[in-house]
Amino acid sequence: MQNYKDLEKNIEKDFSSVSSLETLQEFRLSYLGKKGKISLLMKELSSLDADQRKENAEQLNILKGKILELIDTKDNELQELILNEKLETEKIDLTLNVESKQGTIHPITQVIDEVIEIFGDLDFFVAEGPEVETDYNNFTALNTSENHPARQMHDTFYVKTETDGMPNVLRTHTSPVQIRSMLEQQPPIRLIAPGKTFRCDNDQTHTPMFHQVEGLVIDEESNMSHLKGCLEIFLKSFFETSELKMRFRPSHFPFTEPSAEVDIAYTRKGNQLIIGDGKEWLEVLGCGMVHPNVLRNVDINPDQFQGYAFGMGIERLAMLKYGISDLRTFFDNDLRWNKHYGFQPLNTPSILRDLS
């Protein structure tokens, strides 16, 4: 029994000199290895009688347990030390950067998607038509006869092909889509038609190609108050404001009667336009009740059906909403501009989440 007291002292003494994982291993082997002191004493137990064996075994197991505990604690301690030293050496310079590539969606695509989202929610489907049009669809069917003064305001591009003896044109507005759609479909009709349009004009505020979105509703009862209601929802949703002062002004388009231009109120704050309220007015779109002659031209009975149409410029909407000051930059394709004004691809407009 005395032996064990000494042994315990020796253990403590030997353990106190452990300072590394290697010496800890040596310590473990010197007691618990095959030829370790505890292991040898355990072997000797077999020569003792049962009572003594039991008593000694108990003592030895206590010692063994103690050694294991010491080793375990020390091991953790040493591992921790080593890890800390390692972490210290692994410190890196996080101010360095790596390259990442972010693609962009052009503002025209983004705004058209926003417009589609809003009108889609109001049950307008997206109609399309060709960019080269017949003179008939672009003008005549829209109540703009060959010598109508309004034609001169359109600066039309002509191509070399003809339809029914008249040269085809690059559509000057998206309105011919109205004609194509009404020829294809009977009322009720609810559609929008975004797309490219062309006019032979190139200066500070005009580009020979630009984008419009057309809207058309034909049924038995849609009237000017619906037109007003429709545009109010659209403009409020698009400009993401619950307050929007809107003004309808009489105007003239050959294919609508009555016709109106719509202004929205704004305030100027430095370079920024605050849309929705203020004393200044900005023209944003043209609209009106579809002219009975247009309905007759597509074999829709104007005594039974009526409805409204509207049209607006996509670039103008984009400029107002996103503070783009120069129309021509949309088609300059200066990549610095595209990266600045472009949109993140995941920024798909959504009625439920965010429009923009």
Q: Would you give the binding string for another protein spanning residues 246-285, x where CB under 8 A is met? A: -xxxxxx-x--xxxxx------------------------
Residues 308-337 close enough to bind another protein by CB under 8 A: 330-336
Minimum CB distance to another protein smaller for 87 or for 96: 96
Minimum CB distance to another protein smaller for 23 or for 185: 185
Q: How long, in residues, is the chain?
A: 356
As a whole number of angstroms, the distance between CA 342 and CA 241 comes to 22
Q: Would you give the binding string for another protein spanning residues 89-128, x where CB under 8 A is met? A: -------x-xx-xxxxxx-xx---x--x---x-xxxxx-x
Please state the closest distance from residue 192 (CB atom) to another protein, in A. Answer: 9
Minimum CB distance to another protein smaller for 40 or for 159: 159
Please state the closest distance from residue 254 (CB atom) to another protein, in A. Answer: 8
Per CB under 8 A, the list member of 232, 277, 280, 326 interacting with another protein is: 232
Per CB under 8 A, the list member of 62, 183, 200, 351 interacting with another protein is: 200
Residues 55-74 close enough to bind another protein by CB under 8 A: none
Report if residue 339 touches another protein, rule: CB under 8 A.
yes
Minimum CB distance to another protein smaller for 66 or for 228: 228
Report if residue 53 touches another protein, rule: CB under 8 A.
no
Q: Long-range CB contacts (< 8 A, 24+ apart) of 18-27?
A: 18/74, 20/78, 21/75, 21/78, 21/79, 21/82, 24/71, 24/74, 24/75, 24/78, 27/71
Q: Which of 231, 306, 236 is nearest to 277 (CA)?
A: 236
As a whole number of angstroms, the distance between CA 254 and CA 152 comes to 13
As a whole number of angstroms, the distance between CA 265 and CA 286 comes to 16
Q: What is the per-residue burial (b if ≥16 Cβ within 10 Å, else e) of 227-265?
A: bbebbeebbbbbbeeeebebebeeeebbbbebbbbbbbb
Minimum CB distance to another protein smaller for 11 or for 218: 218
As a whole number of angstroms, the distance between CA 335 and CA 57 comes to 84
Q: Long-range CB contacts (< 8 A, 24+ apart) of 224-228?
A: 224/258, 224/289, 224/308, 226/308, 227/260, 227/287, 227/288, 227/289, 227/308, 227/310
Applying CB under 8 A, the span of 6-14, 24-32, 44-52, 133-141 interacting with another protein comes to 133-141
Residues 143-172 close enough to bind another protein by CB under 8 A: 147-150, 152-153, 157-161, 163, 167-168, 170
Please state the closest distance from residue 191 (CB atom) to another protein, in A. Answer: 8
Q: What is the dihedral angle through the alpha carbons of 291, 297, 301, 303, rounded to the nearest 10 degrees?
A: 30
Applying CB under 8 A, the span of 19-27, 76-84, 264-272, 343-351 interacting with another protein comes to 343-351
Dihedral of alpha carbons 158, 164, 165, 166, sign: negative
Applying CB under 8 A, the span of 71-79, 201-209, 264-272, 318-326 interacting with another protein comes to 201-209
Report if residue 296 touches another protein, rule: CB under 8 A.
no
Please state the closest distance from residue 231 (CB atom) to another protein, in A. Answer: 9
Minimum CB distance to another protein smaller for 78 or for 150: 150
Per CB under 8 A, the list member of 11, 71, 217, 312 interacting with another protein is: 217
Residues 180-199 close enough to bind another protein by CB under 8 A: 188-191, 196, 198
Contacts with 121 (C-beta within 8 Å, 6 or more apart), sequence order: 351
CB contact at 8 A, 93 and 82: no
CB contact at 8 A, 331 and 198: no
Q: What is the largest CA-CA distance in the chain?
A: 130
